[in-house]
């Protein structure tokens, strides 16, 4: 078994869609980034890549590459899934937390879990997405941005 940890953060800005876990969430601002800036999926991908010792998302999807401009992070996650498959790993489970003061994410968590599971070809009960606030403290508490943390367990295929 191998364990990986991922962390990502993006600034909130006007004129962008808010996409988390592949779900477009109604909100007055979205996350700033080269791709769709899906902070949750970026943390998940880094956890998976780290567990397999395959680097990070910056190595595989550099923000200097025009092909990744505005791309759905679900497409990037699918590519990470293929890399894991090629390297002989299967996902055991993924546990992730989005850190954001607003909006409330509970209504979207199940769809986020389904999107991650379907994209990676695993069962939904292998994915847990949680959300928390920072009680008004720090950049996430002030609503300046969002962060996400993820842990992934990989198993070698037999």
CATH of the domain at 146: 3.30.1330.50
- Per the annotation, does 38 bind a ligand? no
Q: How does DSSP assign 2-33, residue by residue?
A: EEEEEEEEEEEETTS-EEETTEEE--S-EE-S
The token pair that represents 55 in the structure block: 């680097």
123 is in an annotated binding site: no
79 known ligand binder: no
Q: Flag whether 8 is marked binding.
A: yes
Section 20-35 average pLDDT: 96
What band does 158 get if pLDDT is binned at 50, 70 and 90?
Answer: confident
Two structure tokens written together for 116 = 């991650």
Q: Is 133 annotated as a binding residue?
A: yes
Residue 81 annotated as part of some ligand binding site: no
Q: Which domain holds residue 105?
A: 2-156
64 is in an annotated binding site: yes
**Is 98 one of the annotated binding-site residues?**
no
Task: For 59-90, write each residue's pLDDT tens digit.
Answer: 999 999 999 999 999 999 999 999 999 999 99
Tokens 């994410």 locate to 105
For the ranges 4-8, 27-31, 146-150, 154-158, the lowest mean pLDDT is seen at 154-158
**Binding site annotation covers 72?**
no
Alpha-helix residue ranges (DSSP H) falling in 31-137: 39-51, 57-60, 73-86, 109-120
Number of structural domains in the chain: 1
How large is the average pLDDT for residues 102-111? 96
Indicate whether 38 pLDDT > 80: yes
What pLDDT band is residue 25 in, cutting at 50, 70 and 90? very high
- Average of per-residue pLDDT values in the chain: 96
Its pTM stands at 0.96
Q: Is 141 annotated as a binding residue?
A: no
56 carries a ligand binding annotation? yes
């Amino acid at each position: 078994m191998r364990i990986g940890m991922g962390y990502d953060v993006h600034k909130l800005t006007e004129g962008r869609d808010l996409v988390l876990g592949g779900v477009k969430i109604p909100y007055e601002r979205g996350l700033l980034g080269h791709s769709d800036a899906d902070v949750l999926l970026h943390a998940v991908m880094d956890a998976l890549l780290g567990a397999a010792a395959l680097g990070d998302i910056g190595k595989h999807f550099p923000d200097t590459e025009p092909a990744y401009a505005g791309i759905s992070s679900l497409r990037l996650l699918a590519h990470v899934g293929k890399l894991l498959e090629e390297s002989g790993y299967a996902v055991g489970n993924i546990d992730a937390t989005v850190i954001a003061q607003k909006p409330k994410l509970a209504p979207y968590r199940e769809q986020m879990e389904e999107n991650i599971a379907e994209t990676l070809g695993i069962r939904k009960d292998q994915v847990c997405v949680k959300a928390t606030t920072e009680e008004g403290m720090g950049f996430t508490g002030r609503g300046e941005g969002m962060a996400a943390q993820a842990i992934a367990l990989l198993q070698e295929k037999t």
